[in-house]
Structure 1
């Protein structure tokens, strides 16, 4: 059998959509691992034969079939042989728009109607084998977010299949790392709220992220939150963060910031006093469950704990509302003096929180200028001048604290005058 090479998957889909193609994957039909190695390819796949091209370093996978033999996405018997056809390889893929190939002459091979679904802007599963891999629930949600600018919708049959997969407890077999990988990819989209909305629609949000699910149908004070629902607000904040920053930290912090509202006793609704502190252990638990990088976890915890007081820096006339001592506590709690760039990201997440409300989308978020101004003032402290006073031990720290407090107070007095 002659070896044949085809471009497959996302590269074919994106080219047909007119989207720039950055990554290309290839399928090789009619070949063996020995033949690939003889051509200079480097094998990297352990579960099935995947090779890196000796020059381009792009991935070339031998055509393969999969048969369900266990639970989760590891529970498959993989068969890669020269007899596997291109159509058989494409049939195991998730969505029709990802199950197209292109030959060396540029012809599209489309046995499962991917081009028609591209035209109709439909996300549709290729076959019943879709339900064998629980990760596909998250992948379809992510594709819905990624392709949202094109107006894609999920086919009702695919939605029903996703719901059935959730109800059969298949998601319990997902590893934390794979879930987090999909979250990161979703957060990189322009409108990641779609990802979480789809997960909620099929019941997966309650299974994977119960802390987020609990926010829905929780009321908030209408004068501050015309959108009402705390879950709706959270997704609005997430999208607002995406409009403000490409930083995954900012976006994830925005997503996590109000988890505490989900545990406010109903008797206290619609107010949520203390939700900031109440949310921190929830953020910590979620991050530890999915092995979120510690730096990102720490950032989200800071946004959660401090966003409320950051909002209240100024009164309605724009004058400082907080005491200098409190302002200094916020700066130190946020790590602003050691990491000004990180503090600026915290302020972006807070701005997203302020703008993620119905009717407030285009407000001028004035606390940012105040916090950056007071940080600059406090940062003018010269430690050498303190040390030159001949102090020692705890007295040095006390002198530094006193000087920082003085600088913060002077700045706040100057902008009040």
Structure 2
């Protein structure tokens, strides 16, 4: 039995990057042997075990065969006779198909095992797929797009780009679960250069299948891509910020429709929708001549009364990409300083109270504060 560290951990070590997670492959062992050594089984689709002391995951070397559609449509074969090279062959990219042996103390030792020339592609900064089986898994397209955002200096090999286009042509992107699509896109959003992810999606034809149509129509314009690159660079690296900047030209309803398709978390969706309406409001009043009614409508939509931190984050994001919101910010602070309880007390002295009357009085007071600040 031999144990190897494989995949991204080897790649990141060679690139002098921090290694956060290590994948281990066990060659020459059976399930019974792993259990006898105290490993705890956790894999549902293939044999994966937790180390009895470190709780790290160890997988038996395996091969796979396409049996259905989507990234789950595979049958796995794990056996002591499966070699390390066979296990590495099923991986996506050559730079992720390297390994190094691990001793009994968990230390890596010996030469890098690199049967598919991953070190050469790493030096050349090339994403190249390992085998023809690459095109059988549609999830790999999203992974490559996300890798492009994380490692923007890398290029996609011509033959790998053809394989990605074949994935799109097969129609198997439709078999991906919405949650998995969002997971990969979200990681690309907060990577070093998110526009590289979108460029791969455009180059392969996957953008039309995965992104809102209106966004795709904008992304094909070079001038828009350049503008978006600048905005993304200026914004804080937070998921909701990056998403909001990318989607800000879309109507709120289109953002909601797409968010439901990819199962976007509600807090991210709401942030994006509200930022879109803020962007539209500022574009309609570039001269700064805001109408108090319209501003109050946006404040209510953003719920600046109960979620002031989010409101400040929205304003800060707008400022970071050059949108003038200083007057809106002043109006918001003025309206937020009003105390609804005091308004209710004053109202109760001269009028009979009911829900509608209270709401109306608070709205009128806020509207006056906004108009005065503007």
Length-normalised TM-score, structure 2 = 0.90
Shift of 1:164: 1.8
Partner residue of 1:143 out of 141, 147, 163: 147
34 and 392 in structure 1: CA distance in 2 versus 1, 3 angstrom threshold: farther
DSSP-derived class of the 1:251 partner: helix
User: What's 1:21 paired with?
Assistant: 19
User: What's 2:265 paired with?
Assistant: 293
User: Over aligned residue pairs, what C-alpha RMSD do you find?
Assistant: 2.0
Shift of 1:165: 1.9
101 and 335 in structure 1: CA distance in 2 versus 1, 3 angstrom threshold: same
Aligned length: 362
DSSP-derived class of the 1:65 partner: strand
Structure 1: distance between partners of 2:51 and 2:313 = 40
Partner residue of 1:254 out of 234, 245, 251: 245
Shift of 1:299: 2.0
DSSP-derived class of the 1:388 partner: helix
Deviates more, 1:369-378 or 1:243-252: 369-378
Shift of 1:56: 2.4
DSSP-derived class of the 1:215 partner: helix
Q: Answer yes or no: is 1:322 the counterpart of 2:329.
A: no
Write the mapping of 1:98-177 to structure 2, written as runs, cut at 5 A.
98-104=96-102, 105-148=109-152, 151-177=153-179
Structure 2: distance between partners of 1:8 and 1:243 = 36
| 1:313 and 1:370 in contact (8 A); partners too | no
Shift of 1:139: 0.9
| 1:6 and 1:27 in contact (8 A); partners too | yes
Q: Answer yes or no: is 1:244 the counterpart of 2:247.
A: no
Structure 2: distance between partners of 1:239 and 1:290 = 26
Structure 2: distance between partners of 1:351 and 1:38 = 60
Deviates more, 1:127-136 or 1:32-41: 32-41
Q: Answer yes or no: is 1:345 the counterpart of 2:313.
A: yes
Write the mapping of 1:11-410 to structure 2, written as runs, cut at 5 A.
11-104=9-102, 105-148=109-152, 151-211=153-213, 212-216=215-219, 229=221, 232-233=223-224, 236-237=227-228, 240-259=231-250, 279-311=251-283, 315=287, 320-351=288-319, 355=321, 365-367=323-325, 369-389=326-346, 390=348, 392-393=353-354, 394-410=356-372
| 2:3 and 2:26 in contact (8 A); partners too | yes
| 2:126 and 2:156 in contact (8 A); partners too | yes
Structure 2: distance between partners of 1:285 and 1:206 = 15
Structure 2: distance between partners of 1:33 and 1:53 = 13
Deviates more, 1:46-55 or 1:197-206: 46-55
Summarize deviations over 1:312-364 as a string: whole Å, max 9, x none.
5663xxxx511223222221122222212222333344346xx4xxxxxxxx5
DSSP-derived class of the 2:218 partner: coil
Shift of 1:311: 4.5
Deviates more, 1:34-43 or 1:117-126: 34-43
Structure 2 unaligned blocks of 5 or more: 103-108
Shift of 1:392: 1.3
42 and 175 in structure 1: CA distance in 2 versus 1, 3 angstrom threshold: same
DSSP-derived class of the 1:214 partner: helix
User: What's 1:271 paired with?
Assistant: none
Summarize deviations over 1:4-35 as a string: whole Å, max 9, x none.
11111111101101111111111111122222
Structure 1: distance between partners of 2:366 and 2:286 = 20
Structure 1 unaligned blocks of 5 or more: 218-228, 260-278, 356-363, 413-417
DSSP-derived class of the 1:46 partner: coil
DSSP-derived class of the 1:107 partner: strand
242 and 57 in structure 1: CA distance in 2 versus 1, 3 angstrom threshold: farther
Structure 2: distance between partners of 1:290 and 1:370 = 36
Length-normalised TM-score, structure 1 = 0.81
Shift of 1:39: 2.6
31 and 152 in structure 1: CA distance in 2 versus 1, 3 angstrom threshold: same
